Amino acid sequence: MIKAQSDKVWDLLSKEVEVQRIATGFIFTEGPIWNPKEQHLLFSDIPANICRKLTPDGQISEARNPSQKSNGLTYDKHLNLLACEHLSSSVVLIEQDGNRKVMASSFEGKELNSPNDICVRQDGSIYFTDPPYGRMPGFGKEREQDLGFQGVFRLTPNQDLQLAVEPDAYTAPNGLCFSPDESLLYINDSTQALIDVYNVSPDGSLSGRRSFAKNIGNGQLEQGIPDGMKCDEQGNVWVTGPGGIWIFDDLGEFLGIIETPENVGNFHWGGADWRTLFIAANTSIYTLRTKTLPHCEPFMKGF
């Protein structure tokens, strides 16, 4: 179940821990996010064009149908939902009353590719990746790209959309996450099978790009790729890859793999004590109990 490369992994996970399937029958799950106020999990079923809700008693319902084939999901500090929509090529904010507001859909007059994954800084700025996966059949709508690159963007608290990294930095930027103190931002590339890390300045700009991890598979989707990525409270980096979820410490040492029955697209901590890892893996949602807590994101406070 846990393929250990270092004994440090046992500080994060019990040797007796088990991956448990709690829901199945979906087409391709992604973007799990826990609502700490209402105590439920939201997740995207991308090809089905539905955002679904899972409650602790195992009940599944539809939260958004259609969902514009949403992928990555998170909340702002007010628990408004932020969604990366493949069909609309937009990042949108869904207020608690259901009102939908487009936050970003174009850059320098050209339509975004298909926003994929997303995270929020404590100051309210939003960072997201923009690969072309939503322009593929099934996961979106087949159409030509308007932008000539696959970017990583920052939407400032004043809603100014900025390119966060060089336009040619990545071929398929995907998962991204902050270190616990937000001094670092990690970005992975699915086809290059790597993770880079940047310094984050007080104004939110990124600098000092350097390699954090390489050779997380071979970039082949069917074998598992770097996709969803999160930091825990100690600064360890958890990322999807071949066989399940790979774990690195904050210096880039490979600690081990949480082996899963299906390839994992994304994951997020939740539950009443924030120690349940919800894993979106192809057709199913799995859970795993961890010793560690997640890095505290803005929406986790005060509920």
Helix H or strand E segment including 87: none
- Token pair listed for 267: 């994951």
Which residue from 52, 78, 73 is spatially nearest to 63, judged by alpha carbons?
Answer: 52
Asked if residue 247 lies in contact with residue 253, where contact means CB atoms within 8 angstroms, the answer is no
- Token pair listed for 26: 């979906």
H helices then E strands: how many in the chain?
0, 27
pLDDT of residue 223: 83
**Half-sphere exposure of residue 192: CA atoms within 13 angstroms, side-chain side:** 19
Sign for the CA dihedral angle at 256, 260, 262, 267 comes to: negative
CATH code of the domain occupying 18-228+261-300: 2.120.10.30
Sign for the CA dihedral angle at 73, 10, 18, 193 comes to: positive
With 0-12 CB in 10 A as exposed, 13-18 as middle and 19+ as buried, what is 149? middle
Contacts of 187 (CB under 8 A, 6+ apart): 129, 152, 165, 170, 173, 175, 176, 195, 196, 197, 198
| Residue-wise pLDDT tens digits, 243-283 | 999 999 999 999 999 999 999 999 999 999 999 999 999 99
Classify 231 in phi/psi space as left (phi over 0), alpha (psi -120 to 50) or beta: beta
The pLDDT tens digits along the chain (303 residues) read 899 999 999 999 999 999 999 999 999 999 999 999 999 999 999 999 999 999 999 999 999 999 999 999 999 999 999 999 999 999 999 998 889 999 999 999 999 999 999 999 999 999 999 999 999 999 999 999 999 999 999 999 999 999 999 999 999 999 999 999 999 999 999 999 999 999 999 999 999 999 999 999 887 777 889 999 999 999 999 999 999 999 999 999 999 999 999 999 999 999 999 999 999 999 999 999 999 999 999 999 877
- Token pair listed for 149: 């690159």
For the chain, the straight-line distance linking the first and the last C-alpha, in angstroms and rounded, comes to 33
- Token pair listed for 224: 């598992």
From residue 205, alpha-carbon distances to 74, 79, 155, 289 in Å are 21, 25, 11, 35
Distance CA 280, CA 264 (A): 6
Asked if residue 299 lies in contact with residue 75, where contact means CB atoms within 8 angstroms, the answer is yes
With 0-12 CB in 10 A as exposed, 13-18 as middle and 19+ as buried, what is 203? exposed
